[in-house]
Structure formats: structure tokens, C-alpha cells
């Protein structure tokens, strides 16, 4: 896999992957909804001016136009902030894309509290729950730039529609180009037998890894899983972790209802119920602030994860 | 329009109406009103205008039709069956479990249906995407789309309208079935649809206005529209909801009506008489 370490921000990696794909695949087109400067799809426009379309601030229409384009054999990527890409355009994604079996790859940026200064109106907490309801959609949220690049390439190659839940600004390099990163397969980052911590996304995987160090100092060994692919769920790894650890803490930057924790709990309920605990946004709306403030406000910190993990196995 | 062509189109429209009435009667009820009002347009498009091949319904560079007011499915199916996209026997399976002919047009089920309609407002966005796709693929093909006046209360219609206008999609032809009625009653009593030609003009569309039950006016408008470059085309069709299913004409509750098999034959006889047919 190409080394993605040259990318400065998450947005550069996801758009870079689409541009690289588009060089090989003339059927790829890109639609944005007046946020091309925010995600950097301007780079796609520069490279392929005849295959980029700014739909203006009209996300529902953008999703419908993408469905129409797909029906002619083109493969559209579309982008908006995650809340608008999903909530605002939901019936169009459900009917015009999903129900009709058209293929569209949706990039929803600024997941959960990473929307930071845009505040509560711009924070997608329920996007995973919504996109899960549309049969056929693959959903992933990377925890670093290398995996974002690799999974975007694989999502295209999968032949499915996809929801790509990605931060825009900032960077994090957890993986190298040689690491095995496979769509649909979670990655075990730490091995421990006392408790399993399943985390998704940059904020939660970072905090979970730090929490594992705090737990180790207390003599508790935690397994940490980067569950980048939310759908299809890596049930094999989840079942294995559940049986090895006997207790699971699921950490997600979004809402429990319909989210990752609920997916895992309902799966394990049918095969191997274990003690579980959940960290998510709870029953709250978003609010404005920097990432540090918001992480503390919602309890998305290493301290809180360690505390919940410890409480779970007591 | 040549007189023999006109007569052939009128004959075809009559046959489509008969098939549609019997099709709905086979189930016992259905969306008769919005089906009957677009029959002349369907006959004109499929017999005089669109480049389609019933033996190859997915031909890549074909002209495409999106029936955004997807509840007009019964009339579309009758037209497609007569055109040879599928056997006419299918018409008697309308809305039965396992049918290929559901109430609302569904591209995953019916040969010849180019896009799914029914969740109102969505078809016209897809039509914009299809017309754009034809342009990207450098096809000499056109996209036709039918929307309703009630449907035009959906905000998405206007998102699509401004998008197509901005992108100068002159291979897109949208027909507005302006029959003045919607499910709950008359459009003027619910959310009136006023200044329609002006609205579409303001969104940078080439606008024409016709009697939607008149083949010669339809032909003239479509031919005029084809000569206007750089703008998408709106053909506002003044129509009568349930036109040709006489028991429904002028009725407020004619969106979906029960029709018995005997009632269907009586209605067809009445129409035959009104049109002076032997």
C-alpha cells in the first residue's frame, strides 16, 4: 500500500485516495455541497475539472444527482459534513441510492465531537445509526491517516456503496504502509486478557491506548481493538475478544442507539453474552468547544476509559 | 403533424388508457387520476421521440425517462407493455405479491423503468444526475422526466431545478403534469402552485406551456425546446386529472380510486363513445 505519511491532514489523505483512484478509473466523479475547500476536494477539481460538480448547499439534491449519475455507470463520491451528508440527505440516500441499488460513496467529515468550533448544529452523533439502516452500505471510520488512505482505496474496490466517517483536520500516524489494514477486519493494537476495549475513530482509539497504559500500571492488562470497519461488523474478532477477555468496553464518538456498542451487544447476546460497558455521547446534543474541552465534557478521556474498564471487571 | 400520425397517436393513447383501466381493475383500485393525465405524453415520448429499444432496455446511450411522480406507474406499465418491454399479461399482476409492476415505478423490478419514482421530489434530482452523466459520457442522449404539480411542493424539486439551470443541462426535458389536484384535494386549496412558468424561468429554464392532452401542442413544444441550447427545458402541461377515465373526471377524490372489472368495461365503453370510436 502507498505510504500515506506525506499527507498533512486526514482530508488530504481521503481526497488523495480518491484522486489516485480516479486516475485509474475514469468512471469516478466527485460531488460536493459547497464544502470543497473544507475537505480539499478542490484537488480533485483541479485534476479532473470535467468530473467535479459543486451542487451548492443542497445536500438532498446532491445525493439524488449522485444516484442518477450512478445509474449511467459512473461512480460518484459525494461529500459534506457528516451531519448534512447523512441526516439532511437521508431519504435520498435511502431511496434514490439504497433502494435502487445505485452505488455512491459518501464522505461525511467531522464525526462526533471533532466538529469542535462548528458546534452542536454540525455534530453528527447518529450518522452511523442512520447509515446502518440502508442495506448494502459499508461503513468505516479510520483511526489514522494511513488506514484512512488504505480503507478508502479498499472501499472503492469493494464494489459497494460506502459511508466514510472521517475527521478533516489534524493528523495521526498509527500504522505503516506495511501493516495489514483490511476493510471489515478490526486491528488488535494491544493484547491483554483482563478486559477488552473496542474503540472506533481517532479520538477513541488514542484515548483507549492511553487508558491501557493507565490500566497496566494498576496491574490490569487490556486488549485494545481498532474497530475501523463498522459495517460489516468483524464478528469473528469481537467474539474472540469477548471469549478471551470476558468483558468488553465499547468506545465510540457518537450515540449508543443504533451505534457500534449496540451492534456489538446485540450480536454477542446471540452467541456469547459477556459483561459490557459503553462510552458514547449519551443522551446529549453536541456543543461548541475545542477537542480537549469536548473530550473532557463527554468523558472521552483515557482516565474515564480506564475508570470504566476497571469498574467493568470489578 | 401529419393526420395519419395524429390518428395513430390518438389510437395508441386510447389503447394505453384501456390497458391502464383494466390493469387497475385487475387489482381493484389504484392511482388512476395521475396515470390518465399523462397518457398523451407517454404515447408521444415512446412512439415519436425517445430512442429506446425494448429488446435491450439497458442500452447505455439510450434516452431515459424518469417518472418522478412514480404513482403514475400503471400508465407507464401499460405503455411499456404495448411497446414490447414485457408481456401484456404482466399488467394483471399489478401490486400483487411478487409482481414486477409495483404501485410506484421501480427500476429494480420493471424492464424499461429507468429510475425509481414515488418518494416525491427525488426523481427530478436523479434525472438531473442522469442528464449530467450523459454529458460526462459524451453521449448524444437525452433525459425526460415527469413531475406533478402537487409534487412541486417538495423543496427538492427546486434544489434540482436551480442545479440543472446552473449547469445548463439542455439534454434534460421535464414535463409538469399541471392537473390542479393532489391527494387531499385541489392544489389551489392546499398549497397553490402559482406563476409556474415564471418560477421555472427564474431558475434559468427554457419554458413552454401546452395543453397536455393535445399531441400537436406537445410536439410543437418539444421541437421548439430542442432548438434552445444551454438551458434545461420545462414543458408545463395543462391536464385533466383522470382524463379518459370518465367516472374520475372532475371528481375531487380521484387520486386513487376503486375500479371493478365491470366498471372498467363500462368506463372503456363510455370513452369509446366519447371519442367516436366504432
Q: How confident is the model at residue A1 (pLDDT cuts 50, 70, 90)?
A: confident
Residues of B with CB under 8 A from a CB of A: 60, 66, 107-108, 114-116, 118-119, 122, 124-134, 136-137, 155-156, 159-160, 162-163, 166-167
Residue A9: is its pLDDT beyond 90? Answer: yes
pLDDT tens figures, A84-109 = 999 999 999 999 999 999 999 999 99
Residues facing A185 on adjacent strands: A182
Residues facing A166 on adjacent strands: A109
CA distances from B266 to A95, A104, B231, B246, B257 (A): 38, 48, 45, 10, 15
Q: What is the C-alpha separation between A77 and B40, in angstroms, rounded?
A: 38
Q: What is the C-alpha separation between A193 and A241, in angstroms, rounded?
A: 9
Q: Which three cell numbers stand for residue A110?
A: 467531522
What percent of chain A stands above pLDDT 70? Answer: 100
What ipTM does the predicted assembly reach?
0.97
Say if CB A252 and CB A200 are below 8 A apart.
Answer: yes
Mutation choice for B interface testing from A60, A61, A70, A78 by most B CBs within 10 A: A61
A56 neighbourhood in chain B, CB within 8 Å: 162-163, 166
For chain B, give the mean pLDDT: 97
Looking at CATH, the fold of the domain delimited by B3-274 is given as Rossmann fold (3.40.50)
Residues facing A54 on adjacent strands: A32
Number of alpha helices (DSSP H) and beta strands (DSSP E) in chain A? 13, 12
Q: Cell 469542535 appears where?
A: A116
Radius of gyration of chain B (CA): 17
Please give, rounded to a whole number of angstroms, the shortest distance from the CA of B274 to a CA of chain A: 41
Q: What is the pLDDT of residue A67?
A: 98
Give the chain A residue nearest B109 (alpha carbons).
A100
Give the chain A residue nearest B62 (alpha carbons).
A72
Give the chain A residue nearest B63 (alpha carbons).
A72
pLDDT tens figures, B120-150 = 999 999 999 999 999 999 999 999 999 999 9
Strands B29-30 and B257-258, by their bridges, are antiparallel
H-state helical runs in chain A:
10-24, 36-39, 42-47, 59-71, 82-83, 90-91, 127-132, 145-158, 201-217, 235-245, 260-271, 291-298, 302-313
pLDDT tens figures, A29-82 = 999 999 999 999 999 999 999 999 999 999 999 999 999 999 999 999 999 999
pLDDT tens figures, B66-103 = 999 999 999 999 999 999 999 999 999 999 999 999 99
Average pLDDT over residues A143-149: 98
For chain A, give the mean pLDDT: 98
User: By C-alpha distance, which of A136, A121, A109, A115 is closest to A33?
Assistant: A109
Give the chain B residue nearest A48 (alpha carbons).
B136
Q: What is the pLDDT of residue B278?
A: 82
Strands A137-140 and A161-166, by their bridges, are parallel
Q: Provide the strand spans (E) within B27-97.
A: 29-30, 64-67
Q: Do A60 and B156 touch (CB under 8 A)?
A: yes
Inter-chain CB pairs, A–B, below 8 Å? 101
Domain boundaries, chain B: 3-274
Run of H or E including B70: none
Q: Cell 367516436 appears where?
A: B276
User: By C-alpha distance, which of B150, B179, B124 is closest to A60?
Assistant: B124
B155 neighbourhood in chain A, CB within 8 Å: 60
pLDDT tens figures, A180-203 = 999 999 999 999 999 999 999 999
All domains in chain A, ordered by first residue: 10-166 (3.40.50.970), 187-313 (3.40.50.920)
pLDDT tens figures, A263-288 = 999 999 999 999 999 999 999 999 99
Amino acid at each position: 500500500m502507498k505510504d500515506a505519511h506525506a499527507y498533512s491532514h486526514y482530508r488530504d489523505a481521503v481526497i488523495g485516495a480518491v484522486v489516485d483512484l480516479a486516475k485509474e478509473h475514469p468512471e469516478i466523479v466527485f460531488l460536493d455541497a459547497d464544502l470543497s475547500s473544507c475537505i480539499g476536494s478542490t484537488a480533485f477539481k483541479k485534476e479532473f475539472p470535467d468530473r467535479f460538480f459543486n451542487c451548492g448547499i443542497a445536500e438532498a439534491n446532491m445525493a439524488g444527482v449522485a444516484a442518477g449519475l450512478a445509474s449511467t455507470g459512473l461512480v460518484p463520491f459525494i461529500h459534506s459534513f457528516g451531519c448534512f451528508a447523512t441526516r439532511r440527505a437521508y431519504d435520498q440516500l435511502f431511496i434514490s441510492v439504497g433502494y435502487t441499488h445505485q452505488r455512491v460513496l459518501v464522505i461525511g467529515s467531522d464525526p462526533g465531537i471533532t466538529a469542535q468550533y462548528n458546534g452542536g448544529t454540525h455534530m453528527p452523533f447518529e450518522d452511523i445509526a442512520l447509515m446502518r439502516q440502508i442495506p448494502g452500505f459499508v461503513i468505516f471510520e479510520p483511526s489514522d491517516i494511513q488506514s484512512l488512505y488504505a480503507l478508502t482505496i479498499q472501499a472503492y474496490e469493494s464494489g459497494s456503496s460506502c459511508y466514510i466517517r472521517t475527521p478533516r483536520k489534524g493528523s495521526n500516524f498509527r500504522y505503516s504502509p506495511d501493516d495489514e489494514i483490511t476493510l471489515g477486519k478490526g486491528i488488535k493494537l494491544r493484547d491483554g486478557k483482563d478486559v477488552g476495549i473496542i474503540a472506533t475513530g481517532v479520538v477513541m482509539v488514542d484515548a483507549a491506548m492511553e487508558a491501557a497504559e493507565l490500566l497496566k500500571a494498576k496491574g490490569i492488562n487490556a486488549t485494545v481493538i481498532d474497530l475501523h470497519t463498522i459495517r460489516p461488523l468483524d464478528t469473528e474478532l469481537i467474539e474472540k475478544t469477548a471469549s478471551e477477555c470476558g468483558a468488553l468496553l465499547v468506545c465510540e464518538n457518537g450515540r449508543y442507539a443504533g451505534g457500534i456498542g449496540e451492534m456489538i451487544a446485540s450480536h454477542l447476546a446471540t452467541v456469547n453474552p459477556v459483561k459490557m460497558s459503553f462510552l458514547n455521547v449519551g443522551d446529549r446534543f453536541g456543543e461548541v468547544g475545542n477537542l480537549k474541552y469536548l473530550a473532557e465534557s463527554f468523558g472521552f478521556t483515557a482516565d474515564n476509559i480506564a475508570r470504566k474498564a476497571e469498574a467493568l471487571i470489578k | 403533424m401529419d393526420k395519419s400520425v395524429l390518428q395513430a397517436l390518438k389510437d395508441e393513447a386510447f389503447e394505453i388508457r384501456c390497458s391502464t383501466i383494466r390493469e387497475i381493475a385487475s387489482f381493484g383500485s389504484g392511482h388512476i387520476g395521475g396515470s390518465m393525465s399523462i397518457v398523451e405524453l407517454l404515447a408521444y415520448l415512446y412512439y415519436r421521440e425517445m430512442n429506446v429499444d425494448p429488446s435491450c432496455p439497458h442500452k447505455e446511450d439510450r434516452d431515459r425517462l424518469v417518472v418522478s411522480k412514480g404513482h403514475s406507474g400503471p400508465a407507464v406499465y401499460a405503455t411499456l407493455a404495448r411497446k414490447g418491454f414485457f408481456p401484456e399479461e404482466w399488467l394483471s399482476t399489478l401490486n400483487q405479491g411478487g409482481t414486477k409492476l409495483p404501485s410506484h415505478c421501480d427500476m429494480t423490478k420493471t424492464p424499461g423503468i429507468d429510475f425509481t419514482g414515488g418518494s416525491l421530489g427525488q426523481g427530478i434530482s436523479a434525472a438531473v444526475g442522469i442528464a449530467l452523466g450523459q454529458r460526462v459520457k459524451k453521449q448524444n442522449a437525452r433525459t425526460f422526466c415527469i413531475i406533478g404539480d402537487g409534487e412541486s411542493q417538495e423543496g427538492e424539486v427546486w434544489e434540482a431545478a436551480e442545479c440543472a439551470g446552473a449547469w445548463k443541462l439542455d439534454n434534460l426535458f421535464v414535463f409538469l403534469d399541471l392537473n390542479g389536484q393532489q391527494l387531499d384535494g385541489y392544489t389551489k386549496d392546499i398549497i397553490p402552485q402559482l406563476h409556474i412558468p415564471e418560477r421555472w424561468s427564474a431558475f434559468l429554464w427554457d419554458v413552454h406551456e401546452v395543453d397536455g392532452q393535445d399531441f400537436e401542442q406537445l410536439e410543437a413544444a418539444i421541437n421548439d425546446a430542442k432548438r434552445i441550447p444551454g438551458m434545461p427545458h420545462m414543458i408545463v402541461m395543462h391536464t385533466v386529472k383522470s382524463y379518459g377515465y370518465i367516472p374520475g373526471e372532475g371528481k375531487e377524490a380521484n387520486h386513487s380510486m376503486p375500479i371493478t372489472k365491470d366498471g372498467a368495461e363500462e368506463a372503456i365503453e363510455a370513452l369509446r363513445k366519447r371519442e367516436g370510436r366504432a
